[in-house]
Every structure is written in structure tokens, then in C-alpha cells.
Structure 1
């Protein structure tokens, strides 16, 4: 049963909300103040939701959300507000960090419907869910702030990042936090069969146009997510451009793309006019190797999900496993890390995972933007980063940078770096 934590100083309203949620099939938990709320949050399963008043005993919604983020909890927070108009409600979401608001006078009409948009069964989260994975890096926290800001707007978005970085999860999070969640969501793969069709604009009968136009019609008032927009061929680009620039449908478009899209625009293999229609705002997700502080927390998150899904003990990483995870470049990013961790968790009999238990492949293709030395202006910092990531091990740092150990030794002395 899905749990919903309620923090509210109004006892009659908490009883009313509990009744509504129980009737709708949820398990409500009431906390009277911030201290009790924090203890109850620690007990919440994945997929739970927090419903909070703007003010309650010894705390506020803003303070609660700040604490949740600081502690690494990613439960959606729904704020109960008093008679605010639409603009005020958006301000609450932007300034306080709530994913949605419900009006106190309309609890009976809004509460269960809004909770239903964000709560998910625990067994559908983590391994198969599409929620954002908790990550402590400053870079990812900045992305989370951007998600909230962009979700409150109507702008079309392109999310840039390498394969395996969870771009679609970010796209879906923008949708979930927007005011279009009561309208259709359509997800299309730019290189997939959903967009296949003959295109003959001269004949006035284009199968491709009719198909793509149909998706926009079905998503009226809602959102279309187009995955891997860089895979659109020129004919498909032309159809999308015509629909967006001429017909102006009431549909928000959120795209994901690998960094090569920017080169394609420069080289005119992707139409610049379409690019700027789609990229009214953008988010860039750095590869995992550039936020190495996220590697172990993400791995531990997958271990928690594995234990939760298998109703077993959470397995832990020993020091050797942590070091092995940190020194790998992860060309497959989070997707590759997830596969490695889940395979290790499945195959280890005990509760401790060591470096030898990690099925890390060393036959991966070289990353396009790796730590390999190319730019003398950034060389010193790259070497310092590699040393930090490998705890000062020259051999491993040299491997990470794609250079020989003797070259590494020379560079360390050249720049006066400490091991």
C-alpha cells in the first residue's frame, strides 16, 4: 500500500485528509511537528509522497523541503495552501520546492487526484521506475533547481547529455512538475518505428506528416517527449518544423539529445530553425566521470533498490569496491553503473561486495570527452582530478588519462602536484 506522510497543524484537516486518502487506497501517516516528521520520513518506502501545510508545529514547508534535500530524500512534496491564485501557487512551487499545490478549501476535490500523480508502488521504483536518482553533487542539485524552474514555464526544452545519463527521467520529471499533468503525455523515439512513413510533400499526401500530426492532435494541451532528437532525418525535421512554426499546436515538446546535436546544427545536418523552436531552454547533464562524487551514492541507491525488490539485506561495498568504482571512466554512465551493481548484487552470496565481485568491462569504447590530455590549458587540472579520483595512485591515474606511467610521473613533477 502506498504511504502518504501528512504534516499539518490543523487536526481536523489532518483527520479529513487521512480519511480521503484511506478511502482512495493509500496509507496515511500523520506527523504533528518537524521532529516527528523527520522520524517518519526515515521510515517511508520508495514511492511515498509527503503532504505538508505551509506552516506546522515547529516548522515550515520550506524548512522541511530544505532538510529533505540535504539528507538526500527525494520524496515528492505537495503543499497545502490557503486560497492562492495560480500565479501565487507557481511561486510557492518555485520558491519552496514543492512539486504541486492543493488548495485547502478544495481538499476533497484536489488531494487524492494530486497525490495519485506522484505516488508510486515501492516495487515499481528504482529498478523500473523513472524517478530521478538521488545524487549529492552540486551539478545535479543545480539541475534539480532548473527542472523546477523550467517545469513552471511553457517553454520547449532540450536535455543534452551522453547516453545512459537518465535524460528521459529528467524529461518526465519536468512533465510531472508542470501544470500539464492532467493532459496526455506521449513519448516518441526519434529513430524508432513510431515516426516511420513516406514523405512526399509535393503530392500533398505525406504519410509521415499525417502520423506526426496525429501525435500532436492526441497530445493536445499536454506534452510530447522526443528521445534522441539528433536521430531525426531531414524529412522528419521538415515535418516537425512545419507543424511547430505554422500550426502552433498547444503541445509542449521536451527533447533529449546527445551533444553531437550541436555539431549537427553547425554543419546544417540538423535544421537550425527547428533547433531553436525546440531549444527555448535547455539542460546539460554532465557525464558521470565529471561528477565522480555521485558514483558511490548512485551505486548504493541501486543496492538499496535491489534489496527492496528482493526483500533482502542491503549489500554494501567494501573499500576495494569503492576504489574500483571511482577509477573507472564509465563510458556507459549511470546505465553501465546500474548493470554492474545489479549483477554484483545478484551473484555475491554474502552481504559485502568487493572489487573482484564487480563485473566492470575494460573493452568499452573511448569516451568522446574523457579525461585524456588534449588541452594544455586544462592539463594540470585534469591531472589533479585524476589523482584525486584514484587516491594518488600514479598507475591508475595514468590509465584514467590514457597516458603512460612515466609521462604521468613527469607531469606530476612538472606541475608540482602532490600524490
Structure 2
């Protein structure tokens, strides 16, 4: 290469070797990359046909004023070819020195990386698509189409990608931890730990030890050092369930961690930085506890940034059948049973029950019913007495006790209306009859019109 430049420099003395130059030019012109060689005064010594095709002017690929300023560099430039398509070119420039180390020239190598960039873009789109599918799959664990549960899902979507503290308010058994898990798995921390603790299940000292850790000898029975959940969840999410049961002493320590991002073990004199997203939940009215001086006001404002309310099963009664059928298939599979559906009479009982234990109670009742079921259809006899009593007491006024056993058609119509939230168009379709026929049968059975 250096002989090539020496030959160029002494061309005036007629000492150059035309054969060597032709060989080098042929080699550089035939390789897949575009090549341009220029001297220290930016005079082009060689430019391959492909380089000429891509660049008309020197300044299009030269980004320095002096050859001795050249440093190996790589940039990607996009141009438009003769067909109007975009070409992504990787431009690399390197200095060339003589035997004494002086800069005498530079070489510019250009490679078409359009295909590689397209593959990279496709790969990114594939990763995004897979993540979106995982997001959808994760949200499918929160079952329901009712407006209250859709509002919950909207909240999960809005807050999941942020690091904001989330406060989940809802009665016992409404799925608060399920919501917290969905937020974590849709967040940027999804591949980090998700840890949960029930703050109402432990005494103050035990909860402090669990949350913040302790040093050896910090209290009676502390025979060894232990890290707390905040350290264990570093980089991930910590879910504090029933935070309303936390003592004011623990609240002070928790506030310090949330404010400063530092945790200090019991018995330690130094703190450690932690990066943990905190999600809290409770079934209690925290604002009321603040007024009663049972919950710190400063902590309340720290955790009460973004609130998600988990509705009771009564508030989302339209989801009862969907939840029940989902639980039925889950437990039937676990128990190696084939149970096709829930009978209309059983659906009616599920709809009329008040569900004080919410989703947790529904899940437990369906599990029990699956165990007791001896056919391929879940029947009222498979339910506990509480459900049956609720049904006999609260049956619609139009469904008299003496009619219910002998009039399965009426029960089927009521069950379908309940299932479809008394939407007569949907119920008629479900019953495979016209809306007019349904209206006539409702009138014959003295069923309410709404």
C-alpha cells in the first residue's frame, strides 16, 4: 500500500509501477465494499466504481479538514439509489502513515448495511410484538369484561411502565395481589424479583425484620445476619398488602426508604441504597385512619400517588359466570374430570348470591363443587348450603317456589337473562329464539321487563 503512494508521489519522475497500480486498483475495485483513497491534500488517488456511484463529491464522505486529524471512525449515512430506495451505508475512514509515522493519506471504506439494518429493525419489531403478546397474556389473568374491571385494566396499562408508587384499594378477596403482579410483569422491572408480604400477619418487630433485615445480635434470637425484603427485591417490586395494619413505628422506617431509597437493617449503623418499586394495598379506609391518628399523614401522601380500586364481585356481577367457568375448567383439569358447563339453575344461584368473600369465595366454592360433581354438568346440589339458602330466599319474586322445580323453561330464561344482564337481544340469541318470542314468554311467566 505504501509503495502505491510512493509511486503516486514520484509520478512526476516517471518511476511509478503501472502494473502494481493496476493490480491494486483491480483488487480494490472488485471487493464488495466501496473504496476511496486520497492523499494528504485530499486529492483522490483511487476511487472504486461503486464509490463513484454512491458519492459525487468529496465532502459527502469526508468529515475533517486535515489528514493528520483522521481518527478511525464509523458512521452510517442514508442515501437514495437510482430506483428511489433508501440505502444505509456504513462509512469508515482510516489514516495511512509512512515509515516515519507521518500521515500521508487516508482510506475511506463504505459498506452497504441496508440488509443488516432491516434485519435489526425486524428483530426489534419481533421483540416488541412478543412483549405485546406477553402483556396481553398477563392481563388475561385478570378475567372480566365488566366496566369496573376494564377500569382496573386501564389503570394497570397507564401506570405499569412508570416507577410511580401504586396504591390498590379494595375489599378482601378482590384480587389486589393479582393486580400488583400484572403491574410488575408489564413494567420495565418484569425480569426482576416480585416479592409480597401481608403487613397485618406479623407483629411490629417481625415485620421490621422481614422488611429491613437485621444484624447478628440485634435482638434476642438474631443468631445470624439477615437481609430484608427491600434488599431482596432490589431492582424489582415489593408488594405491601394490608398496609393499613402497619404500626406507626414501622411506618416511619418505610417512609424513610421510600423518600431516600435507602434501607438500614435493625441493629446497623449504616444504610444501603436500594432501587425498589413499592406497591401497597389495603381493604381499609386509609384517609379515615389518618384522621384517627392511626396512619401517618406524610406516608399516606407518599403512597397515595396513583390509586387503583378493585371492585367487589357484587359490583362486577356481569363477570361472575366468566370467572366461574374459568375456575371450573381449571379445577376440572387438575382433578382429571370432564365437566362441560354449569347448569342454568346453578348459574341463577351464583348470580343471586351476595358474595361477601368476593372472587376468593367464588374460587373456593367452584373448587368444592368440582370435587362433589358426579356428572358432566355442575348442578345446584354441588354447592354449599349458603348458596342454596341464598337462592331459596332471594329468588326473583316472579319465580315461585312451587314453580321452580316443575318449570325448567322459566329457570332457563331467567338464567339467560341474568347471564346477559337482562339484555333481551343477547338473551334471545343465547336461547335461540326471536326477541319477540322471548318477550312473549317473559310476559307469560310474569317476568319483569328490566
- Which residue number corresponds to residue 379 of structure 2? 354
- Which residue number corresponds to residue 30 of structure 2? none
Report whether the alignment pairs 1:333 with 2:358. yes
- Which residue number corresponds to residue 236 of structure 2? 222
Q: Are the structure 2 counterparts of residues 325 and 362 from structure 1 closer, same or farther at C-alpha, using a change threshold of 3 Å?
A: closer
Within the candidate set 165, 176, 180, 2:189 is matched to 180
- C-alpha separation between the residues in 2 aligned to 1:118 and 1:196? 38
Q: Are the structure 2 counterparts of residues 107 and 284 from structure 1 closer, same or farther at C-alpha, using a change threshold of 3 Å?
A: closer
Offset of 1:330 from its aligned partner? 0.4
- Which residue number corresponds to residue 105 of structure 1? 123
Report whether the alignment pairs 1:279 with 2:304. yes
Offset of 1:279 from its aligned partner? 1.9
Segments of structure 2 that go 5 or more residues without pairing to the other structure are: 1-115, 210-214, 263-273, 402-447
Q: Are the structure 2 counterparts of residues 282 and 181 from structure 1 closer, same or farther at C-alpha, using a change threshold of 3 Å?
A: same
Aligned positions of 1:200-349 closer than 5 A: 214-247=228-261, 249-349=274-374
Segments of structure 1 that go 5 or more residues without pairing to the other structure are: 1-81, 85-101, 121-128, 365-388, 397-416
Offset of 1:191 from its aligned partner? 2.2
- Which residue number corresponds to residue 196 of structure 1? 205
Q: Are the structure 2 counterparts of residues 119 and 196 from structure 1 closer, same or farther at C-alpha, using a change threshold of 3 Å?
A: farther
* Structure 2 length-normalised TM: 0.50
- C-alpha separation between the residues in 2 aligned to 1:322 and 1:272? 45
- C-alpha separation between the residues in 2 aligned to 1:254 and 1:260? 17
Aligned positions of 1:154-173 closer than 5 A: 154-173=163-182
Deviations 1:93-124 (Å, cap 9, x if unpaired)?
xxxxxxxxx9633589x69996998899xxxx
- SS of the aligned residue for 1:290 comes to coil
Deviations 1:184-224 (Å, cap 9, x if unpaired)?
22212212349734979xxx99769x999832233222211
- C-alpha separation between the residues in 1 aligned to 2:117 and 2:204? 45
Q: Are the structure 2 counterparts of residues 341 and 136 from structure 1 closer, same or farther at C-alpha, using a change threshold of 3 Å?
A: same
Aligned length: 264
Offset of 1:347 from its aligned partner? 0.7
- SS of the aligned residue for 2:314 comes to helix
* Structure 1 length-normalised TM: 0.54
Indicate if the aligned counterparts of 1:197 and 1:207 stay in contact, CA closer than 8 A.
Answer: no
Deviations 1:329-356 (Å, cap 9, x if unpaired)?
0000011111111111111111122223
